[in-house]
Structure 1
Amino acid sequence: MLAAGIVSLFSLLPVGFVIWIGIQTGWETASALIFRPRVGELLINTAMLLAVAIPISIILAVTLAWLTERTDLPGARIWSWFAVAPLAVPAFVHSYAWVSLIPGLHGLLGGVLVSVLAYFPFLYLPVSAQLRRLDPAMEDAAASLGNGPWRVFFFAVLPQLRLAICGGSLLVGLHLLAEYGLYVMIRFDTFTTAIVDQFQSAFNGPAANMLGGVLVVCCFGLLGIEALLRGNERYARVGSGAARDPFKQKLGVLTLPAFLIVFATAGLSLGVPFITLARWLIIGGFDSWRLDSIGTALGQTIIFALSGALLTTIISVPMAWLSVRAPGRFQRIMEACHYYVGSLPGVVVALALVTVTVRVALPLYQTIFTLLFAYALLFLPRSLVGLRASIAQVPIELEQAAVALGRSPAQAVMHITMRLAAPGVAVSMALVGLGITNELTATLMLAPNGTRTLAMQFWSLTSEIDYVGAAPYALMMVLLSLPMTLLLYAQSRRLSGR
């Protein structure tokens, strides 16, 4: 309980920073920095991006999920993997590929296009999993009342996808608010790009801090909208029904259009990045592979990923255990503290740690400890979700038996529960490691001098328009991310029983 409480208090650091810096700045200065035309422009850009990109992502993800899970589309399993694989390509690598292909792709149009292609898998995964779990009897009942296939989908199936769509849309929206590299390359100004620009020009100036506060308000507003749209309707039934595979709709004359949809999506989200990378690698030849620099960046990336994943998993264990073994009101409050920090952009977490270390603990500024702590805060929810599910599968009676045999409660958890939950621990560490491998903003702001991760090296070279030199780093990030993405896909199918 004490360990979980300490982690919860540290999780409140970013939002505490926002409140504290607002008080320190004073209302007159803060209002002058917030209520100005530039902030209005950023707010309009952000609202337009969310209003356009999220609905398109929903339509695309639901269409792909329906085609791959509920129709006789040839090669559906392969196309379902292609719908998840774009997660292995960092968003800023997507933008790198598209800007290389179409140099004039800028502004809102470019931002929406690349955002949808990079982030729609966050919607596809929960929607496709929900479709696999739905009871086909409900669709049979709707069809028996004289409804055609379209009416059955819109009135019997789509309402049951509401939770999956809302949850996936929230993930997409939070990523849009937090993304930096993608929009810098597309030349589309957002709060995150403006905050980093202000930080780099004025180093932790009040303007950057106030923009961070507005961005936090936007994130909480998005959380509120998602909760409102999700509603309180009941989606479960009392009986489980007879287990059977759903009926596959025959596409007939629509087979070719359906095939074109999945093929075009895979081509745009995977084909463009890989063809662009191959083109730059061929142009650069062997000379583009600066093996000493690439080896250093790869080694540092792996070390940060492993260290951050291990630290995040360790500090997540107490809360994960409490949420399963001792649920209660106070426990839910602490758990909410763990989860909320995952909704904050990396730039806000980095700003908070910069301010705290500079003003209170200067020796910790730009140290590995501070960077790993930032990773732990950013990816705490990923670790917590996986650990909680794994611990829940370990019978509590085994812990009680170990205590009865003379083990302390802590020893029983570490020697019995965590060993049996090892597969889930490995998945959680892999997901955190995947996030750290592709993280850019917090790393740029907090990394010690001399740090050169794959993402940092890639960003440095693309900033110099050296697309040939950046290609090997992009390829290495994708190759590191692909196995973790495959693991996520396999886990999703396993949990949904397919």
Structure 2
Amino acid sequence: MKANAQAKTPPLLLAAGVAVALLALIPLAYVATYTVIIGPVEIWELVARPRIVELLRNTVTLAAACMAATVVLGLALALLVERTDLPGRRLWHGLLVAPLAVPAFVNGYAWVSIDRSINGFSGAFLVITLSYYPLVYLPAAAALRGLDPALEEVSWALGHSRWRTLGRVVLPQLRPALLGGALLVGLHLLAEFGALALLRFPTFTTAIYDQYGSTFNGSAATAMAGVLVMLCLLLLLADLRLRGHRHYARIGQGAARDASRTPLGALRWPLVAAVAALLVLALGVPTYALVRWLAVGTSTEFPLDELATAALTTVALAAAGAVATTLAAIPVVWLAVRHRSRVSTLVERSAYVANALPGIVVGLALVVASLKVVPVIYQTSLLLVIAYAILFLPRALVSVRAGLEQAPVVLDHVAHSLGVGPVRTAQRVTLPLIASGLGAGTALVFLAISTELTATLMLSPIGTHTLATEFWSASSELRYGAAAPYALLLVLISIPATVLLMRHERITP
């Protein structure tokens, strides 16, 4: 560990990490610049309003509630699947990951279109929790699967109960997975727009969109974006403090066997029923709503040419953005894990900031930056891919970091002692060990990009339409039948990425 801390940081690696961080900070620079232009007096007048207090209360309360709920739910489900004799574990694992294929705004559309009374805080809490809990469940289940069962057996041999072993041995090792998942949930909720707009629960994101979209009040929107950035920074600082400086890698895979499973006994079927009920809410309701509106919606239509064009555009943009984002995450994570320092920590934390900003703010920042610096990329797909990389870099960072933290650094040292250079060591030793994390990060980013809305509306070249933008155009006009085919295609396109995630997290029967 000491050798790792003192290892010299390769200049090219540092330059690449800093370049990614600077790219991610463009929206923050935009907000800060316009905040200075507006001036402190006007900013205070804009912020010190009852409306801002209401938005702050709504945003913080919903974020705290959803983060807590997804951590509890994700951890409980991971323990149930990985540490008990739950029947059909492989099937349940696949179904519990499946809600990732249903975008949050499609989930919100499903609930609202069935019952218009589902709105406000309770509706937002329900939909966000059902949509985002897999972001905690997946890393928690993977971490449980990777633990050495001997550690738990030693605890039992010392006379500790299963519950005490869970609290003293297992949970501390799940800290990176749980904190990483909770951070993703919090950051994505801070930037969530579609689902919250449909559910009529005002947060800073929906308010910023309203300001830009209706009155184009740039000053008020910039002031609210500044508050949103502060919330993001507080969330990142809390995560950094809770994560600490522990190392979780180990040599080898421990015993080549599964951990001992706790018999559920009389609780077996009640717990099976509880998991099934959760899946009915997370998957059954959206499926029912889509089928219902496809069958009986008066506005339902199937413009095949438009559907095919939107689907192909969505896949192409999502694939390009996912690969670019994952590649950008590698140097940042490598610095943070293999060359820990204040600079590397600052680089990593900087990469998270823009994720809390609404897509419309990121879009406006890139419009201004591109026109002033590189006007040739304005209104091109390249600028849109850059926006995706800025927005969804944290999804790749969390997945890649989880893999790199469990890749023993001593293997790098062994390779270096044999005369293998850093680049060759990364290619032959480290990258193969974190291939699962790279795949999971790419799949998560693909899922996010395929459903991104506001930045796509602002930055896409003229005439470019995605499934998300076409769905939003119809659903915002309450043409639920017309929106249903686009929502269905969104779900179908998301399925392969979800299956890829499940394959990377394959479990034994």
Q: Which residue of 2 aligns with 1:350?
A: 363
How far, CA to CA, are the matches of 1:421 and 1:150 in structure 2?
A: 32
Structure 1 range deviating more: 201-210 or 108-117: 201-210
Q: Which residue of 1 aligns with 2:271?
A: 258
Correspondence for 2:122 among 91, 109, 128: 109
* Residues 90 and 438 in structure 1, CA contact (< 8 A), matched pair in contact too: yes
Structure 1 range deviating more: 147-156 or 41-50: 147-156
Q: Does 1:93 align with 2:106?
A: yes
Q: Does 1:52 align with 2:52?
A: no
How far, CA to CA, are the matches of 2:49 and 2:192 in structure 1?
A: 23
Q: Which residue of 1 aligns with 2:24?
A: 11
Q: Which residue of 2 aligns with 1:305?
A: 318
How far, CA to CA, are the matches of 1:387 and 1:110 in structure 2?
A: 33
* Residues 25 and 354 in structure 2, CA contact (< 8 A), matched pair in contact too: yes
Q: Does 1:462 align with 2:475?
A: yes
Relative to structure 1, the CA distance from residue 6 to residue 63 in structure 2 (aligned partners, 3 Å threshold; closer, same or farther) is closer
Q: Does 1:67 align with 2:88?
A: no
Q: Which residue of 2 aligns with 1:173?
A: 186
* Residues 412 and 430 in structure 2, CA contact (< 8 A), matched pair in contact too: no
Q: Which residue identity does 2:177 align to in structure 1?
A: A
Relative to structure 1, the CA distance from residue 33 to residue 44 in structure 2 (aligned partners, 3 Å threshold; closer, same or farther) is same
Correspondence for 2:136 among 123, 127, 133: 123
Give SS of 1:96's match.
helix
How far, CA to CA, are the matches of 2:416 and 2:358 in structure 1?
A: 38
Q: Which residue identity does 1:488 align to in structure 2?
A: L
* Residues 216 and 344 in structure 1, CA contact (< 8 A), matched pair in contact too: yes
Q: Does 1:432 align with 2:445?
A: yes
CA displacement 1:251-280 (0-9 Å, x = unmatched)? 111112111111011111111111211111
Give SS of 2:274's match.
helix
Task: Please report how far the alpha carbon of residue 81 of structure 1 lies from its aligned counterpart in structure 2 after TM superposition.
Answer: 1.3
Q: Which residue identity does 2:464 align to in structure 1?
A: T
Task: Please report how far the alpha carbon of residue 285 of structure 1 lies from its aligned counterpart in structure 2 after TM superposition.
Answer: 9.6
Structure 1 range deviating more: 348-357 or 414-423: 414-423
Correspondence for 1:217 among 214, 226, 230: 230
How far, CA to CA, are the matches of 1:20 and 1:365 in structure 2?
A: 21
Q: Which residue of 1 aligns with 2:301?
A: 288
Q: How does 1:317-328 map to 2 (within 5 A)?
A: none
Task: Please report how far the alpha carbon of residue 358 of structure 1 lies from its aligned counterpart in structure 2 after TM superposition.
Answer: 6.0
Q: Does 1:43 align with 2:56?
A: yes
* Residues 314 and 450 in structure 2, CA contact (< 8 A), matched pair in contact too: yes
Give SS of 1:288's match.
coil
Taking structure 2 as the reference length, what is the TM-score of the superposition? 0.83
Task: Please report how far the alpha carbon of residue 231 of structure 1 lies from its aligned counterpart in structure 2 after TM superposition.
Answer: 4.0
Q: Which residue identity does 2:134 align to in structure 1?
A: P
CA displacement 1:91-129 (0-9 Å, x = unmatched)? 001101111222110100001001110001111112212
Structure 1 range deviating more: 456-465 or 138-147: 138-147
Q: Which residue of 2 aligns with 1:84?
A: 97
How far, CA to CA, are the matches of 1:321 and 1:52 in structure 2?
A: 32
Relative to structure 1, the CA distance from residue 197 to residue 304 in structure 2 (aligned partners, 3 Å threshold; closer, same or farther) is same
Q: Which residue of 1 aligns with 2:289?
A: 276
Q: Does 1:441 align with 2:460?
A: no
Task: Please report how far the alpha carbon of residue 186 of structure 1 lies from its aligned counterpart in structure 2 after TM superposition.
Answer: 0.6
* Residues 209 and 351 in structure 1, CA contact (< 8 A), matched pair in contact too: no
How far, CA to CA, are the matches of 2:185 and 2:68 in structure 1?
A: 10
* Residues 204 and 351 in structure 1, CA contact (< 8 A), matched pair in contact too: no
Cα RMSD over matched residues? 3.9
How far, CA to CA, are the matches of 1:211 and 1:33 in structure 2?
A: 8
How far, CA to CA, are the matches of 2:485 and 2:40 in structure 1?
A: 48
CA displacement 1:132-187 (0-9 Å, x = unmatched)? 23333444444455555444444543344333222211111111111100101110
Q: Which residue of 2 aligns with 1:33?
A: 46
Q: Does 1:161 align with 2:174?
A: yes
Q: Which residue of 2 aligns with 1:372?
A: 385
Q: Which residue of 2 aligns with 1:484?
A: 497
Q: Which residue identity does 1:24 align to in structure 2?
A: I
How far, CA to CA, are the matches of 1:146 and 1:397 in structure 2?
A: 38
* Residues 66 and 125 in structure 2, CA contact (< 8 A), matched pair in contact too: yes
* Residues 395 and 445 in structure 2, CA contact (< 8 A), matched pair in contact too: yes
CA displacement 1:205-233 (0-9 Å, x = unmatched)? 11111111110111111112222333456
Q: Which residue identity does 1:45 align to in structure 2?
A: N
Q: Which residue identity does 2:87 align to in structure 1?
A: P
Structure 1 range deviating more: 289-298 or 451-460: 289-298
Task: Please report how far the alpha carbon of residue 296 of structure 1 lies from its aligned counterpart in structure 2 after TM superposition.
Answer: 1.9
Structure 1 range deviating more: 23-32 or 337-346: 337-346
How far, CA to CA, are the matches of 1:237 and 1:217 in structure 2?
A: 37
Task: Please report how far the alpha carbon of residue 292 of structure 1 lies from its aligned counterpart in structure 2 after TM superposition.
Answer: 1.8
How far, CA to CA, are the matches of 1:287 and 1:234 in structure 2?
A: 54
Taking structure 1 as the reference length, what is the TM-score of the superposition? 0.85
Unpaired segments ≥5 residues, structure 2 = 1-11
Unpaired segments ≥5 residues, structure 1 = none
Q: Which residue identity does 1:157 align to in structure 2?
A: V
Q: Which residue identity does 1:263 align to in structure 2?
A: A
Task: Please report how far the alpha carbon of residue 190 of structure 1 lies from its aligned counterpart in structure 2 after TM superposition.
Answer: 0.6
CA displacement 1:350-382 (0-9 Å, x = unmatched)? 232244346666675544333222112223344
How many residues of Structure 1 are paired with residues of Structure 2 in the alignment?
491
Correspondence for 1:205 among 204, 207, 218: 218
Task: Please report how far the alpha carbon of residue 434 of structure 1 lies from its aligned counterpart in structure 2 after TM superposition.
Answer: 2.6
Relative to structure 1, the CA distance from residue 398 to residue 293 in structure 2 (aligned partners, 3 Å threshold; closer, same or farther) is farther
Give SS of 2:452's match.
coil
How far, CA to CA, are the matches of 2:245 and 2:43 in structure 1?
A: 38
